[in-house]
Chains A and B, each alone.
Chain A
Amino acid sequence: MRDRISKALKGHNAEYVEIRLEESQGTQIRYRGRELEETGRTSDLGGNVRALAGGGWGFVSFNGLDELPDRVAQAVSHARLVGGERISLTQVEPHQETVAPEIGKDPRGISIGEKKRVLDEYIDIIWSTPGIQTSTLGYGDRYRKVTFANSEGSYIEQEKVDVTVGISAMARDGGDVQQAGLSVGSMGDFSVTQTLHDDVREVATRAGELLKAPQVKGGEYTVVLDPILAGVFIHEAFGHLSEADHVYESDRLTEIMVLGRRFGGPHLNVVDGGAIPGLRGSYKYDDEGTPATRTTLIREGELVGRLHSRETAAKMGETPSGNARAISYRFPPIVRMTNTLIEPGSGTLQDLIADVKEGVYARNWYGGMTSMEMFTFSAREAYMIRDGKVAELLRPVMLSGNLFTTLENLDAIAGDLDMNQGGGCGNGGQSPLPVSNGSPHIRIQKCLVGGT
């Protein structure tokens, strides 16, 4: 295969050509209620060619790996049709490497029967909890081998295994339905799915309790976020605007996101990096063959870095950070986050809530979205804070903020960093991309909470 790829990369008359081939196998198991709803196995084989010629990009994706030279010719001819002003790429040293996967307990070595036995235990726990109306449980594992080669001489093979579990329990009282849930994931280790018994029990119990919980009254609150939700917060509130492809074509956004600008207090430090090891967003090379790095985005409240592909780095005159990622061979790489986190300060949850007379303590994530300036994120679990103590359970809350004020209002960061590995990120139709994010407990003043 290496010879065929090398041959196809020759004599194309383009400024740059890359070929990315991918082979993947996955297993999905899904329950609805007590019953299995779906067990499936997916096997995928395909590739793409991306070419830069005459200033434009051409991209071709396909199943079946015959006719590689024709695919290259097609991508180059697409690129020439685009034309226009010159796109350049920052130089990256070509690499040749075969990267062995980091695998703990490999899910591929575990039979479907054994996987089901583990999940059945969680189903039993949920259904032995009083008041449960129904539940969903989804398990997935996916092995990917990606071969990347470009016309500059890079040839990189990388393998990865991704494992995820999502569980949701629903309780019902007449027309009122409430749900609670959890999601976990891992890069290559099935064993994270084997020890969720206590968490599942807690989720099932909470679903019932939510039926009796009140909804928060909408308005501004002092909000304390747990590490999981705070990770989602920093991903949505700030992370997406640090992706250079959102700003590099806009003079105005480039001014707003100028390096050196202050976004928060001196206690705020934010980092992203595929080179942070052992997490779901970790890798050695991105999908353009650029080595992953660890990029400080905010240091002591000041914007000091951003995430780049080779194209955005060239355009902005900055260093490529190895953040060009594609969810599969069907898509060209775009700038994406990897493992994003708020670095720890000091203290505990108790320190953060001690002075709060009335506020909201929000935990665990349901989802989040951003339009860059404004963003929302939602908690699966929320409590009132009253007189410095966590008080009554609330129905799940949705929080909303504004990039320019909410980070400034982030006034306290505890020391208990934890990473959320259960998430996936969507952007440009590519979802869910494995990422992780994390933070210690944080406190935000005047955060908008939706409610009745």
Chain B
Amino acid sequence: MLDRALKVAPEAEVFHVVTRETPAIFEANRLKMLETRETAGVALRLIKDGRLGFAVTTNMEDIGGLVDNAVELAAFGAATCLELPAHTEPPPVAVYDPAIEKISVDDMVHLGQSLIDGIRATSSELLFEGRVSKTVSTISLLNSRGGEVTYTKGVFGVGMEAMLVRGEDMLFVGEHESSCHPISDTTAIRESIEEQLELAKTVVEPVTGSLPVIFTPHGVAGTLLGPLLAGFNGRNIVQGSSPLVGRLGETIIDQRISIWDDPTIPYVPGSSTTDDEGVPSRRKALIERGVASSFLYDLQTACQAGVTSTGNGSRSLGSLPAPSASVLVIDEGDVSYADMISDVKDGIIVERLLGAGQGNVLAGDFNANVLLGYRISNGKPSGRVKNTMISGNAYQALNNLAAVGSQARWLGGSLKTPALYCRGISVAARS
């Protein structure tokens, strides 16, 4: 296909993905459906007269049509100065554990069912839904400058959510984990769900005002991270819509915060040997001790900004690459979660949000309903708060930081973060 494309355009790249996903789906506390989902498709990107043409198909019998489409669109495509990467020796990053192939559907069903049954042994009114799944993908990338990458990634995931309805009160708790290794021990998932249930046992009066707020790792992911990352995205830098334009090297948030983008950590689902454009993976600081250190670029935004790609080109089969964080790690601090809580006289813990990311994310704003959050009264969690909204700005919140948690944890396959304790967050509630 590359040869065919090169007959009509001087530069071209073929991106090929084959994926096989096997989820066991649980509903109403039991196995409901077994699925096998196979996807195979190919995307062609070509550069002709300085413009990008792009087409994708899952119909392997129509490769000619794919090339024709990409050429036709190149005449109306985005202007580009990007240079496809030549062949390099990327760092070895292990993301495939053959043991994953040996896990049978029966094993997966058993794992999910015993997790559900184990928690329901003490909380029988819970209604669970969730999935245990394994996905194996092979990604191949070939370009006209000799760049060539092929690798296979296996991901095992367990995710469960439970609903508890009491009167007209609905409580949702849940946890998920994913890894390139098979997951055989679900203790951490069970403990997390049980802790959420315990803290949410009673509903207490909500609280309004400018308050201290502890964001759990889930709370950090759901509230602060999205608005913060938008500022580092190469697209927003090139367009001048990021508040961080021209501010590399400046202290932008509290000096206790360091955030790394690291796609080289082995057996983490977000890792890989190169990015989706064949640029070798490397670890870099986005924020080092409060200082903005690096933005996230793919090839296109890097050439527009006059810099080199940071290896953050990310794509699904259906679209052109775009800058995106790979695996994010926020450094641990030195205050335990228990000490954070006992420091708060009156405030809340934010665990899960509803509707985050709808506000003016580019400016760093967050604004969301607290789907799962707890009130802290005199240093102790006193129960769940409902009908509560929090709003603020990620930069301001992280400049008004009280403490960084001493224990970071993995959330899914692309983020590891400790809890963060901020002051002066706006909390509004309907009593």
Contacts and interface: CB of A to CB of B under 8 A. Distances in A.
Interface stretch (B4-12, B357-365, B407-415): B357-365
A364 to B, nearest CB: 13
B360 A177 contact: yes
Contact of B39 (A63, A74, A252): A63
B107 interface: no
A386 interface: no
Given A40-B73, A398-B355, A451-B391, A332 B33 contact: yes
Given A112-B73, A398-B389, A133 B241 contact: yes
Nearest to B372: A371
Given A218-B426, A249-B127, A256-B165, A400 B369 contact: yes
A378 B386 CA distance: 19
- Which one of B27, B235, B362, B390 has the greatest number of beta carbons of chain A within 10 Å? B362
Interface string B57-70: 11110100110011
Interface stretch (B168-176, B280-288, B337-345): B168-176
Interface string A44-77: 1110000000001111111110000000001000
A57 B242 CA distance: 47
A79 B35 CA distance: 9
A446 B430 CA distance: 8
Nearest to A246: B163
B34 A450 contact: no
Contact of B241 (A177, A330, A372): A177
Contact of B66 (A43, A175, A178, A446): A43
A133 to B, nearest CB: 6
Among the interface residues A43, A253, A330, which one has the most CB atoms of the partner chain B within 10 A? A43
Contacts of A370: 354
A395 B367 CA distance: 12
Nearest to A452: B426
Interface in B407-431: 426, 428-430
B355 A179 contact: no
Contact of A256 (B35, B125, B168, B367): B168
A402 interface: yes
Given A41-B73, A63-B40, A134-B241, A56 B33 contact: yes
Interface in B60-93: 60, 62, 65-66, 69-70, 72-73, 75-79
A449 B430 CA distance: 9
Interface in B30-60: 30-41, 52-60
Given A78-B34, A134-B239, A376-B369, A112 B76 contact: yes
A448 B389 CA distance: 8
Contact of A35 (B73, B75, B79, B240): B79
A220 B57 CA distance: 50
Interface of A: 28-29, 32-33, 35-46, 56-64, 74, 78-79, 81-82, 84-85, 112-113, 116, 133-134, 170, 172, 175-179, 218-220, 249-250, 252-253, 256, 330, 332, 366-378, 395-396, 398, 400, 402, 404, 446, 448-452
- 7 pairs of A and B residues whose beta carbons are closest in the complex: A218-B428, A376-B355, A249-B28, A57-B33, A450-B389, A78-B34, A45-B59
